[in-house]
Homo-oligomer: A and B are copies of this chain.
């Protein structure tokens, strides 16, 4: 049970003892000397005896009485420790860290390729990535910003639309038929890679559904590959292990670099789900979080324009 009171007076007492004057202490504490004097005298009234001997001349007007001198050592140490603690509390804020959470696939394939631009624009802001496929509670401050795929109606957080998403078939160009365009029928005969992390209710098609809509007469072949990681699905496609149905945003780099080829581009399957930038209102009040948020949105807009 702690019994501690008159913290401001203790602070004033310690500074006055160190400076030997209220004026000196006031300068350090950035208040008037009258304020320091009142705090000390208030403490003297409370303890019941004078804490300083006063002289009317010289620069050292205040000499602690023995009891006060003894106590001042403890008080000074206490204030030192409090200051150390406060410095630690402020340490993170001083570095302007934004903690961003997103799935591995999005981080690896969409965010990381762009993040260097943010670092150039805002050199004083550190971005810490919390890569996780689990849902992180932004309301509880586990992260400042989340990039999430969904309908954008999460409680307690502000969700801003980033970009839409569609499902596309892709494969490595080594698998393409020679001298011909790929057809739905052709796709039906290939090794088809399944993404086992597809979210229910998000409108993700199975291969059968996609082929049917694409007008293929055949059911999917039995040579399938089911993988429980979106990132690994993409990796397998890049390794020419088959044709994969993937979210377009997550393979943007691969399409651009030519490591993957989109098949039947005229066949589109937009998702009901989209990507949103989510953050708690509290976190958004911090300038570095706001800056990152706005930059992200601008990347989304640029993406939509492509």
Q: Could you say which residues of chain B place their CB within 8 Å of the CB of A29?
A: 2
Q: Is A28 an interface residue (CB 8 A)?
A: yes
Closest B residue to A55 by beta carbon equals: B140
- Identify the closest chain B residue to A41 (Cβ): B282
Quick check: is A88 within 8 A (CB to CB) of the other chain? yes
**A91 contact set on B, CB distance < 8 A:** 67
- Indicate the member of A8, A10, A71 with the most B CB atoms within 10 Å: A71
Q: Cβ of A72: which chain B residues have Cβ within 8 Å of it? A: 85
CB of A47 closer than 8 Å to a CB of B = yes
> Interface size for chain A: under 10, 10 to 19, 20 to 34, or 35 or more residues?
35 or more
List which A64-120 residues lie within 8 A (CB) of chain B: 65, 67-68, 70-75, 77-86, 88-93
Smallest CB separation, A240 vs chain B (Å)? 44
CB distance from A124 to the nearest CB of B (A): 14
Q: CB < 8 Å: which of B2, B67, B82, B141 contacts A92?
A: B67
Closest CB in chain B relative to A108 CB, distance in Å: 26
Q: How far is the CA of A88 from the CA of B72 in the complex (A)?
A: 9
Partner of A51, one of B4, B10, B45, B89: B89
Task: Find residues 206-249 in chain A having any chain B CB closer than 8 Å to their own CB.
Answer: none
State which of B47, B68, B92 has its C-beta within 8 Å of the C-beta of A49.
B92
Pair A83/B53 contact, Cβ less than 8 Å: no
Which residues 53-69 of A sit at the B interface, judged by CB distance below 8 A? 53-54, 65, 67-68
**Distance between Cα atoms of A73 and B88 in the complex (Å):** 10
Partner of A2, one of B53, B71, B83, B140: B83
Chain B residues whose CB sits within 8 angstroms of the CB of A92 once the complex forms: 47-49, 67
Residue of A49, A80, A140 contacting most chain B CB atoms (<10 Å): A49
Indicate if the CB atoms of A47 and B85 lie closer than 8 Å.
Answer: no
Q: What residue in chain B is nearest A67 (Cβ atoms)? A: B92
Name the B residues within 8 Å of A45 (CB-CB).
Answer: 285
- Decide if A181 is an interface residue (CB 8 Å cutoff): no
**Do B93 and A7 touch across chains, with their CB atoms under 8 A apart?**
no
Verify if A11 is at the interface (C-beta below 8 Å from B): yes
A142 interface residue per 8 A CB criterion: yes
Interface residues of A in 3-32 (CB under 8 A from B): 3-8, 10-11, 15, 28-29
User: What 4 pairs across the A-B complex have the smallest Cβ distances?
Assistant: A78-B81, A74-B85, A50-B141, A78-B82
Q: What are 23 A-B interface contacts by the 8 Å CB criterion?
A: A2-B29, A2-B79, A4-B83, A5-B86, A6-B86, A7-B82, A10-B82, A48-B92, A48-B93, A49-B286, A71-B85, A71-B88, A72-B85, A75-B82, A75-B85, A77-B78, A77-B81, A78-B79, A78-B80, A78-B82, A78-B84, A79-B82, A81-B81
